Structures are given as structure tokens and as C-alpha cells.
Amino acid sequence: MSAFVISESALERNALILRDVADAAGCRIVLALKGFSCWPCFDALSPWLDGCCASGLWEARLARRRFGKHVLTYSPGYASEEIAELAEISDHLDFNSLTQWSRFREEVMRHPRFLSGELKCGLRVNPRFSTGHTPLYDPCAPGSRLGVTPDVMQGADLAGISGLHFHTLCEQGADDLAATLGAVERHFGHILSRPEMTWLNMGGGHWITKPGYDRKLLAELVRRIRERYGVEVWLEPGEAAAIHTGVLRCRVLDIFSSEGVEHAVLDVSASAHMPDTLEMPYRPDVFQIVRDASLRSARQPAVQMAGESYALAGNAGEGSHTYRLGAPTCLAGDRIGDYSFAEPLAAGDELVFDDMAHYTMVKTTFFNGVRHPDIAVQRKDGSVETVRRFTYEDFEARLG
């Protein structure tokens, strides 16, 4: 049976790094639920983080119900029937456009939580400054729908707005944030200088917990912005909280040869269970659970089980046995890639896809009726608890 397995200890390790950065910079750091929303693991994160950021009503409900603390909500578009509840459960409610803010401003500003100061409203801005390398993830691409551009902001009525929000990074370092802040200040610094502006949300994409990330520079950048404009700074990383904390374990269902290609059909799907392998130029690391412990690699997966030895798979042709890993679906392109292994694969063998906790889990589907992997948590004492086992009834209920 396939399963996503998440390590509580690894989550806490990341959370402690984020807490140290927040304390050094004097800012607030929240969990981006779009990157990781496995609420049975929130106890490993909530003592150290300041809350959650939500991408809409359902995530805001989850944040309020399961995490507590601050709830920061932003969506490219709100429906009219959502505003009352969002105003009730959000602490920051950020709008993507001046038209949305104009449409809902009176309703929001009449809300008792806004009048008391519990609810603050902001605008997402687009500094038109790209530093990323993947067009699909670039919110500052020409014609982007995400955020208010400098030209549109000229002369805008910002009554009721107390903060700005930008999100331009994706798996990037503090040097890219430094460059982006230059553009933000150039285009929007005069707005941040207004006395009614009390906070700035620098969004996510900060790879804070990755080895080599310049955390000292991040803290310096945040402190400089706080001191220059007198604002509270918020960061909302998702990947940084959950990177290297989970794996996807799966089984080999079949091995066969076709026109010179050795195929290994697995009980997981790229399309349904790890779509980034199809959407992005992303190749996950794969570990083979080997019978010969002498083949054990120095590097090991994020979550390890007692008594198991793991060998890191290589590129096609690097090792003795190369296979094309594919899914049990009817989609011809539903394959993960070509990998080479230390030992030959056989039906029933297990493979471990590394670093599968962030983004992957929140994108899964029931495409083709493929059995959905369990969700399990490795507790701090090493025990593994299955917190969710999906059934046929879950699949049927999705569409009726």
C-alpha cells in the first residue's frame, strides 16, 4: 500500500529555524497552507510559527479551526457570499485588485472586527520585477493577473487599507529578495511611508530552511524595512516549513520490456499524486529499499524506517539496472522518469520518493480511480501512525 509519510521531528526542525529567523529579524512568520496543509502535523509547527496564510475561504477555515493564531487570507478573487465569513475568521484580508476592494470595501469596513482593529485589510501589489526562472510560477510576468501594478496604483483611493502584500519569489534566496525589495520601494515606498500603513507582507518563496540560505541577510533586509517605514513585516513560506520532511512510499506492480525499454509500473501516479513531475522541470529523488545493506547510500530519504537500507537511484544508465517508472493509469504520459538502480526491481519491491510533503500532497487527485496513498505521520518516538486511509467511498463521493 502506498503512503505519504511525514516526519514530526523534521517539521519541528524546520519550524525552529523559522522561529530563530523571525526572532532575529523581528518579524512574523506564518505557514502557507497552499504548500502544506496536513493538519494532523500542525502540533509540530504551531508552537513556533505565528499562524497561517490562506488562499481562500476553505484554507482560512482550516487555519482558524486547526492551527489557531493569526489567519492571513489572500485570493485573486473573492465571491460575494464569502466576504462575511472571511471577515469573521481572518486577521488580515488582502485583496488582489482595486476593483475587488472597491466592491467589498463598505461591507468589510462595517464589520465589527474591522471597526475594532482586529481585522486589517491590505492590497497585493505587483512590482513588475521578475527574479525566477520558471514562467509558470512568475507572478510578475507581463499581463499577470496577480497584484496591482504601479501605474494602476497612481492616485488610488486606499482608505481602509493598512498594509501591502507582495509575493514574487519561488524557491529563492535572500539575494533575490534584496533585489525585489528595491523594486517594491521604488514603486510603492511612498505608500508604505504613509502613517496609516502599519504592515508589509513579503509573501513566500523564501527558501529559508535550505542549506546555504543567507538567513543573516534576510534578517538584515527585514530589519531595514521595519525601521525605514515603521511597519510590521510578515513572511509566509510554505516549502521552507515542509521541505525534506516527508516521502511517498510505493510498490512495484509489474516489470516488463517494450521496444528496448524496461518498464516498472508503480502503484502511484505522477498525474494524480505528484503532478509537479509533469507540470514542472522537476525530477524527484528516488530511493530503492535494498536487500544488500552494503549498497546503502550515504544520503538517506527524509523519513526512514527501522531496519531498512536505502540506495539512491541514479540517472538512466548510471547504475546497473535502468527502468522507466510509470503509473497504473491510462494516460500515456503518466510517467515519472528513467532511473537506474543498484539492484534489479521486481514486483512487490518498494521505492521511496523523497521530499514529497510540500505542495505534492495538496495537489493530489483521484484521477483514473487509482487508489490514493495513505497519509501517515512518523511521531518523534519513531512510531508511524496512519492518520488517513482513503476508500472507494471517498472516490465516489468526489463527483456526486
The pLDDT tens digits for 51-86 are 999 999 999 999 999 999 999 999 999 999 999 999
The pLDDT tens digits for 220-274 are 999 999 999 999 999 999 999 999 999 999 999 999 999 999 999 999 999 999 9
CB of 76 within 8 A of CB of 47? no
Cell of 319: 547504475
The pLDDT score that the predictor gives to residue 135 is 84
Query: For 368, phi and psi rounded to 5 degrees?
Result: 65, 10
The pLDDT score that the predictor gives to residue 399 is 87
Say yes or no to pLDDT of 281 above 90.
no
Q: How far is CA 39 from the centre of its chain?
A: 14
Q: Report the alpha-carbon distance of residue 269 to residue 88 in Å, rounded.
A: 39
**Distance spanning both ends of the chain, measured CA to CA:** 26
The pLDDT tens digits for 143-178 are 999 999 999 999 999 999 999 999 999 999 999 999
What angle (nearest 5°) sits at the alpha carbon of residue 68, between those of residues 79 and 159? Answer: 45
* pTM > 0.75: yes
- Longest CA–CA span in the chain (Å) reads 70
Beta strands 199-201 and 161-165: pairing type?
parallel
Say yes or no to pLDDT of 354 above 90.
yes
% of the chain residues with pLDDT over 90: 95
The pLDDT score that the predictor gives to residue 99 is 97
CB of 119 within 8 A of CB of 87? yes
Q: How much is the average pLDDT of 36-56?
A: 97
Q: How much is the average pLDDT of 323-352?
A: 97
Say yes or no to pLDDT of 132 above 90.
no
Say yes or no to pLDDT of 137 above 90.
no
The pLDDT tens digits for 91-102 are 999 999 999 999
**Mean pLDDT, all residues of the chain:** 96
Q: Which of 364, 357, 362 is nearest to 378 (CA)?
A: 357
Q: Report the alpha-carbon distance of residue 88 to residue 73 in Å, rounded.
A: 12
The pLDDT score that the predictor gives to residue 136 is 83
The pLDDT score that the predictor gives to residue 280 is 80
The pLDDT tens digits for 187-213 are 999 999 999 999 999 999 999 999 999
Q: Where are the alpha helices (DSSP H) in the chain?
A: 8-25, 57-62, 83-89, 98-110, 112-116, 150-153, 174-192, 215-229, 239-242, 270-273, 276-279, 392-397
Q: Report the alpha-carbon distance of residue 177 to residue 13 in Å, rounded.
A: 24
